[in-house]
Amino acid sequence: MSTATQTPNAAASGTFRLGGDLPVRRLGYGAMQITGPGVWGPPEDPDGAVRVLRRSVELGVNFIDTADSYGPYVSEELIAQALHPYPEDLVIATKAGFVRTGPSQWVPVGHPAYLRQEVELSLRRLKLERIDLLQLHRIDPKTPVEDSLGELKALQQEGKIRHIGLSEVSVDELAHARTLVDVVSVQNRYNLADRASEAVLDYSEREGLGFIPWFPVATGKLARPGGPLDAVASAHGATPAQLALAWLLRRSPVMLPIPGTKSVAHLEENVAAAGITLTDDEYKSLESAAG
């Protein structure tokens, strides 16, 4: 199906229920890029960031992923500015567990008191009484994961967190975490050109956990003129990035891509990928080309 003949709508990507009770459209929006360079400070065009956020909801997106460390704090503040009071079906996922010491610098901190402080502050910035999905941004090697997740479980029991997720974990780490808390999602780097987290995706699919691939549209050499992505994209009247997203959506029913952008036009292009249906041969050719 050509993306040029349809109105983009994230509903075409289908629905997944986080934790079995929280429905989200599978193609979401990642709000990291609406900050300044190095994911630091405010964006050059704050009004443009607000327009992108509002347009994402107009296009049927009801799953927005952010983090306290994006800015830091800037992304969460812009989401509240643009969208509060929130649509009833909007799910905002955020993260805690990274301290920012400067542009492009990220330091994991999983101390319970720090995580509690950041969750409380995220609630305030996002103007929420409960965070639908709070993800531990990284496991802190200096803090026992039992302590970090124990604090998130306490916050969950207090009604401040609905569901708990993890980010950048191995299968063993994920399996261990699930003995401590009820984990509903995993956010690892994964895309057509980089499938190092294949085992974690397979585990997530078997266990019914949402898999949120960050950096989802990386295509590398696959998008070169005359390359496999370019050829299939031409057949669909689409871009290589759209094909990369369509491939992810086809790859697994638990896949929840969250492409980010600071451009409304690019946002509309990304959402249009939800309407692309790959044939079996196209899907296999892209998978084998990237293998």
**Does residue 216 fall inside a structural domain?**
yes
**What is d(CA 116, CA 148) in angstroms, rounded to the nearest whole number?**
9
> Is 70 a known active-site residue?
yes
Catalytic residue among 29, 70, 190, 203: 70
Residue with tokens 């610098």: 105
Residue 255's domain spans which residues? Answer: 3-220+248-278
List the structure tokens of 37.
């360079």
Phi, then psi, of 142 in degrees rounded to 5? -95, -5
Across 97-102, average pLDDT: 97
Q: Is the pLDDT of residue 95 over 60?
A: yes
The total of structural domains in the chain comes to 1
**Does residue 285 fall inside a structural domain?**
no
Instruction: Provide the percentage of residues in the chain whose pLDDT is more than 90.
Output: 87
CATH number at residue 170: 3.20.20.100
**Does residue 264 fall inside a structural domain?**
yes
pLDDT tens track for 31-85: 999 999 999 999 999 999 999 999 999 999 999 999 999 999 999 999 999 999 9
List the structure tokens of 249.
């959506």
Buried b (16+ CB within 10 A) or exposed e, 70-89: bbbbbbbbbbbebbeebeee
Q: Is the pLDDT of residue 1 over 50?
A: no
Q: Is the pLDDT of residue 226 over 70?
A: yes
- Least confident stretch, 122-136, 188-202, 232-246, 277-291: 277-291
Do 171 and 199 meet the contact criterion of CB atoms below 8 Å apart?
A: yes
pLDDT tens track for 107-129: 999 999 999 999 999 999 999 99
**Does residue 231 fall inside a structural domain?**
no
pLDDT, residue 2, reads 42
Do 217 and 243 meet the contact criterion of CB atoms below 8 Å apart?
A: no
Considering only CA atoms, which of 159, 171, 156 is closest in space to residue 201? Answer: 171
Q: Is the pLDDT of residue 97 over 70?
A: yes
Considering only CA atoms, which of 40, 78, 51, 39 is closest in space to residue 215? Answer: 39
Handedness of CA 73, 197, 166, 139 (dihedral sign): negative
Burial class of residue 279 (count of CB atoms within 10 Å of its CB; 0-12, 13-18, 19+): exposed
Do 168 and 176 meet the contact criterion of CB atoms below 8 Å apart?
A: no
Q: Is the pLDDT of residue 4 over 50?
A: no
**Does residue 121 fall inside a structural domain?**
yes
pLDDT, residue 291, reads 61
Q: Is the pLDDT of residue 228 over 90?
A: no
**What is d(CA 147, CA 164) in angstroms, rounded to the nearest whole number?**
14
Distance of alpha carbon 147 from its chain centroid, rounded? Answer: 25
> Model pTM?
0.95
In SS3 terms, the chain reads as CCHHHCCCCHHHHCEEEECCCEEEECCCEECCCCCCHHHECCCCCHHHHHHHHHHHHHCCCCEEECCCCCECCHHHHHHHHHHCCCCCCCEEEEEECEEEEECCEEEECCCHHHHHHHHHHHHHHHCCCCEEEEEECCCCCCCCHHHHHHHHHHHHHCCCEEEEEEECCCHHHHHHHCCCCCEEEEEEECECCECCCHHHHHHHHHHCCEEEEECCCCCHHHHCCCCHHHHHHHHHCCCHHHHHHHHHHHHCCCECCCCCCCCHHHHHHHHHHHHCCCCHHHHHHHHHHHC
pLDDT, residue 6, reads 65
Burial class of residue 127 (count of CB atoms within 10 Å of its CB; 0-12, 13-18, 19+): middle
**Does residue 236 fall inside a structural domain?**
no
**Does residue 21 fall inside a structural domain?**
yes
**Does residue 207 fall inside a structural domain?**
yes
